[in-house]
């Protein structure tokens, strides 16, 4: 054994457990491992879990919050304009520097897999994607980064974008992005989805779109995405983020769409901390929250996950690339507060996110990659309640980060 973690807890199993690691893989899980290893960690009765997976984060624009001008109109439109101003002058180095700060925060908070969206459009051209591909290469062998070829200004309404996206796939993007609901017309949204699938088929890549990120009950790209997924044989290879409009549909239509999503094996990423600040802006009480139908879809067996989305950028002044914080927001805003619900939400940042990204060797079974956190508390409930970073972050059987939280009451 190269590493043994001793006396930790495993979710759903009684007692204390040791995990033994050999050549980067989990070699043994037992209540007492007799072997010795050069590195041994005392988990001290705290929970051990696979490292977190962040399946949707924009790191080309992250940390612009530190350098951008103030938003004078307090409007979403000005968030866009500020982003455009920076996007015109991004350099690869600038993106890698800002994004690496977010990756470091993510690692300290226990995440070792990031699906990173890069804007591809006629404003910034391919520069943001070049930056995110350079980021992926810089961190290769340390954490896993996927680059998403993402049309942030839509495709049909931004002529030239499709050609840039195709060039982005040739440059080595890992995932085809999409933003169909941002087109002007329903027929354009469908064309947008068709074009993305053309690329996905041609380059044999998975699809991850931002879908119906609006309170508008007439925004209906999710149903088309689900049907298209089935027609193309892409079941299990497609993710949709946000899907807030689903919450505004009447029950009859919502149930039809959710059944299609389930049938198509489309994974849904809900990022409620973002939806809470981005949606409902036209409402004058009661203010809608713009969050998709999390509990209903969870009960139906849809694969739900949750992601950071934004970090300190023109749209969102908060975010520390912390999946525990993200999960806490899901629990609060989606009424997921009973034991089985809290456990399910923990799955949104671990197993379900790994499933959406089709990660291989994810988990704590023998033979899985030794990518695991020794968390700061003994149970999922207390991990999410206390919001303290993992004590140890282990990646490929090596200690990648540690956190020690020192607190003291002086009386």
Q: Which stretches of the chain bind Zn ion, using CB under 5 A?
A: 309
Q: In what order do the strands lie in the sheet with 267-269?
A: 52-58, 111-119, 144-150, 175-178, 206-211, 238-242, 267-269, 304-305
Q: Which is nearer to Zn ion, 46 or 58 (CB)?
A: 58
Q: Between 215 and 309, whose beta carbon lies closer to Zn ion?
A: 309
CA-based nearest residue to 107, from 63, 61, 135, 139: 139
Which candidate, 294, 356, 278, places its Cα nearest to that of 331? 294
Nearest CA to 330 out of 350, 348, 354, 318 is that of 348
Nearer to Zn ion, 206 or 309 (CB): 309
Task: Please identify which residue in the block is written with the tokens 């495709």.
Answer: 155
Taking the complex as a whole, the smallest distance from the CB of residue 309 to Zn ion amounts, in Å, to 4
| Pick 21 or 357: Cβ nearer Zn ion | 357
**With respect to Zn ion, which residue has the nearer C-beta, 46 or 182?**
182
Residue nearest to Zn ion (CB): 309
**Strand (E) positions, 105-205?**
111-119, 144-150, 175-178
| Minimum CB distance to Zn ion smaller for 178 or for 390 | 178
Q: Of the candidates 238, 228, 400, 234, which has an alpha carbon nearest to the alpha carbon of residue 305?
A: 238
CB of 307 to Zn ion, least distance (A): 8
**Least distance from Zn ion to the Cβ atom of residue 269, Å:** 9
Asked whether the beta carbons of 240 and 211 are under 8 A apart, the reply is yes
Cβ 144 to Zn ion, closest distance in Å?
A: 19
Q: Which is nearer to Zn ion, 158 or 313 (CB)?
A: 313
Quote the CA–CA distance of 408 and 222 in Å, as a whole number: 50
Q: How far is the CB of 271 from Zn ion (least distance, A)?
A: 7
**DSSP states of 297-350 as a string?**
HHHHT--EE---B-SSBTTBS---S-HHHHHHHHHHHTT--SHHHHHHHHHHTT
Report the alpha-carbon distance of residue 310 to residue 234 in Å, rounded. 27
Q: Give 8 or 178: the residue with its C-beta nearer to Zn ion.
A: 178
Q: Minimum Å distance from CB 339 to Zn ion?
A: 30
CB atoms within 10 A of CB 190: 19
Strand partners, 21: 3, 26
Under 8 Å CB-to-CB from 15, ≥6 apart: which residues?
Answer: 31
CA distance 301 to 191: 29
Q: Cβ closer to Zn ion: 99 or 370?
A: 99
Q: To the nearest whole angstrom, how small is the minimum distance from the Cβ of residue 57 to Zn ion?
A: 8
189-192 contacts at long range (C-beta below 8 A, 24 or more positions apart) = 189/221, 189/224, 190/221, 190/224, 191/155, 191/156, 192/151, 192/154, 192/155, 192/156, 192/221
- Residue closer to Zn ion by CB (options 105, 309) is 309
**Least CB distance to Zn ion at residue 132 (A):** 13
């Amino acid at each position: 054994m190269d590493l043994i973690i001793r006396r930790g807890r495993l979710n759903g199993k009684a007692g204390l457990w040791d995990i033994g690691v050999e050549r980067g893989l989990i070699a043994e899980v037992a209540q007492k491992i007799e072997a010795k290893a050069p590195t041994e960690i005392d988990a001290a009765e705290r929970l051990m879990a696979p490292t977190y997976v962040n399946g949707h984060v924009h790191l080309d624009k992250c940390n612009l919050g530190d350098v951008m001008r103030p938003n004078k109109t307090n409007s979403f439109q000005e968030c866009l304009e500020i982003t455009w101003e920076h996007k015109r002058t991004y350099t690869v180095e600038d993106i890698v520097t800002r994004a690496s700060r977010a990756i470091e925060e993510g690692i300290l908070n226990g995440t070792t897999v990031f699906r990173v969206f890069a804007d591809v459009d006629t404003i910034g051209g391919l520069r943001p994607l070049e930056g995110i591909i350079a980021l992926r290469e810089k961190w290769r062998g340390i954490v896993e980064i996927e680059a998403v070829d993402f049309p942030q200004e839509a495709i049909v309404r931004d002529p030239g974008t499709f050609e840039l996206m195709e060039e982005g796939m040739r440059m080595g993007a890992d995932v085809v992005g999409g933003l169909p609901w941002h087109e002007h017309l329903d027929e354009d949204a469908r064309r947008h989805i068709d074009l993305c699938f053309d690329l996905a088929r041609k380059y044999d890549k998975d699809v991850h779109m931002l879908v119906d990120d609006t309170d508008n009950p007439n925004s209906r790209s999710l149903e088309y995405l689900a049907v298209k997924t089935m027609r193309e044989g892409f079941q299990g290879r497609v993710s949709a983020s946000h899907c807030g409009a689903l919450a505004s549909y009447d029950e009859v239509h919502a149930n039809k769409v959710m059944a299609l999503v389930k049938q198509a094996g489309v994974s849904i990423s809900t990022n409620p901390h973002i939806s809470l600040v981005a949606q409902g802006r036209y409402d004058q009480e009661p203010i809608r929250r713009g969050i998709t139908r999390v509990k209903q879809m969870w009960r139906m067996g849809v694969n739900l996950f949750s992601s950071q989305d934004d970090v300190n950028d023109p749209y969102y002044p908060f975010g520390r690339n912390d999946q525990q914080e993200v999960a806490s927001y899901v629990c609060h805003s989606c009424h997921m507060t009973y034991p089985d619900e809290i456990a399910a939400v923990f799955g949104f940042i671990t197993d379900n996110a790994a499933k959406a990204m089709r990660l291989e060797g994810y988990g704590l079974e023998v033979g899985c990659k030794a990518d695991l956190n020794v968390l700061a508390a003994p149970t999922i409930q207390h991990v999410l309640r206390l919001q303290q970073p993992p004590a140890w972050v282990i990646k490929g059987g090596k200690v990648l980060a540690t956190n020690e939280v020192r607190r003291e009451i002086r009386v």
